Amino acid sequence: MNKKEVLEIRKQFTPENCAITRICGCYVDHEKEKKTELKKAFLSMPEEEAFKYFDIFKHTLSGTLGKNLMNMEFPTEQEMPGGTQEFLLKLRDSKLTDDLLVEEFYDKVIENYIYPENYYIILIHAVYDVPGKSSDGLEMFDASDTVYEHIMCSICPVNLTKAGLTYNAETNNIEDRIRDWFVELPVKGFLFPAFNDRASDLHGVLYYSKKPEELQPDFIENVLGSQIPLTAKDQKASFQTIISDTLGEDCDYEVVRNIHDNLNEMIEEAKETPEPLELGKPEMKNLLARSGASQEHLETFDEEFEEVVGEKQTLLAANIASTKTFQIETPDIVLKVNPERSDLVETREIDGRKCLVIPIDEHLEVNGIEVH
C-alpha cells in the first residue's frame, strides 16, 4: 500500500464515511486471562464512544511507510489450505459473527503477543464501496464497481491513570483522584487484506508498529504468517555493511559523500510519487557505480547484497538515507554539516597527515561566541 491508499482507508473512520459493520473486543490482563469481551454492530454504539474508537483506528494506520507501517506478503506455504491466510479470510468472510473463529483469533494473539501488562484487542469488519475515479482524478461515487471488504486489528495497552489530586465540582473540594483503567492508543495492529491499486490484495497485509524496532516477531510469524521484515534500524545497518564490504579498503570519503548526495537526489526526484522509493539489488548497484565504485568492486556486489538483504528484498530509501544530517566522526571529534553542503568538507594530506579541510568564510562561532 502507498500513502494515498492508506489515507483513503483512514478517511473511512468518520461518522460520515463509516464503513464498519461490526466490532469485537477482548480485554486481557497481565496473566493472559480474558477478563471481558465486546461483540456488537458498530453503528449501534453511542456517538461519543464511536468517536474514541475512530481515533484508535486512525492511529492504527498512522506513521511512516516502511517504519511504522510495513507491507508484508504471505509466503507460498501460508497461502495453502490450513495457512494463516486461509484463517484470516475465514475471519473476514464470517463478518466477525462466528464466535468460535473470533475466540480462536483472540487465543492466537494472546499466545503470541508478548506484553507484560493489560491490553485490549479490538477487531473490526468493514465493507468499503470504493468510488470510481474520472480521468482527472475526481471521485465518482455513483460509479463504484469495487467492494473492499476487510478486517482490522488494533492492540491497545490498558494502564492505570496517574495518581494525583483533582477538583470535585459537586463538593467544591480538591480531593484525591480516583484511579481507573485507561485504554491507550494502539501500539500494534494490522489491516487484512491489503488495499493495493484501490482493491483487495489477498496476498498482502499491512502491519502497524508504534515503535519500529519492536516488531513482535512471534506475532508476525504465527498470527499473520508473514516473513519478519528488516526494521528501519536494521535496513540502515545492512546498507552500511554492504557499502563497507563492497568497497573494502577503497571506501574513502569522496565515494561515501557521493553516495549520500546521489541517494538524497533520488529521494528528492521521487518525493511526488505515491510509492515510497525502494532500492533493490539493481538500484543499489547502480547507485554505487554512479558514486565512484569501480567495476572490480562491483563484481562481488551481487553476492554481498543477497547475503545481507536477500535476493529479492529491497531497502527503503527513507530508512537508509540521512536527509537531515551529514555527520563525520573521528575518535575525538564529531562534525555535523548541512547535508546540502557536504561539498564544503574535503580530505587533504598536509605535512604527511590526512586532514579534513573546512573553509571558513565570514562567520565562526565557538560555544556560541563569535571568534575572529
With cut-offs at 50, 70 and 90, classify the pLDDT of residue 271: confident
Query: Hey, where are the domains in the chain?
Result: 3-228, 233-323, 327-370
Among 7-11, 62-66, 174-178, top mean pLDDT goes to 7-11
Please say whether the beta carbons of 166 and 177 come within 8 A. Answer: yes
Confidence at 346, pLDDT banded by 50, 70, 90: confident
CA 197 to chain centre: 19
> Lowest-confidence range among 28-32, 99-103, 161-165, 246-250?
246-250
- Identify the pLDDT of residue 135: 58
Across 216-240, average pLDDT: 89
Predicted pLDDT at 22 = 97
The pLDDT tens digits of the residues spanning 149-184 come to 999 999 999 998 888 888 989 899 998 888 889 999
Q: How confident is the model at residue 254 (pLDDT cuts 50, 70, 90)?
A: confident
Task: Please check whether residue 38 is in contact with residue 73, taking contact to mean a CB–CB distance below 8 angstroms.
Answer: no
**Is 227 or 41 the better-scoring residue by pLDDT?**
41
Q: For 217-236, what is the mean pLDDT?
A: 88
- Beta pairing class for 146-160 and 188-192: antiparallel
> What pLDDT, on the 0 to 100 scale, is given for residue 13?
96
**Confidence grade of residue 277 (pLDDT, cut at 50, 70, 90):** confident
pLDDT band at 192 (very low <50, low <70, confident <90, very high): very high
Q: Percent of the chain at pLDDT above 90?
A: 47
Task: Check pLDDT > 60 for residue 89.
Answer: yes
Band of the pLDDT at 209, cuts 50, 70, 90?
A: very high
Q: What is the mean pLDDT of residues 242-268?
A: 86
Contact call for residues 105 and 99 (beta carbons, < 8 A): no
Query: With contact defined as beta carbons under 8 Å apart, do 305 and 284 qualify?
Result: yes
Q: Label residue 24 by pLDDT band (50, 70, 90).
A: very high
Residue-wise pLDDT for 126-145, tens only, equals: 999 998 876 555 656 555 67
Return the pLDDT at 140: 61
d(CA 127, CA 219): 26
Instruction: Tell me whether residue 69 is exposed, middle or buried, using C-beta atoms within 10 angstroms of its C-beta: 0 to 12, 13 to 18, 19 or more.
Output: buried
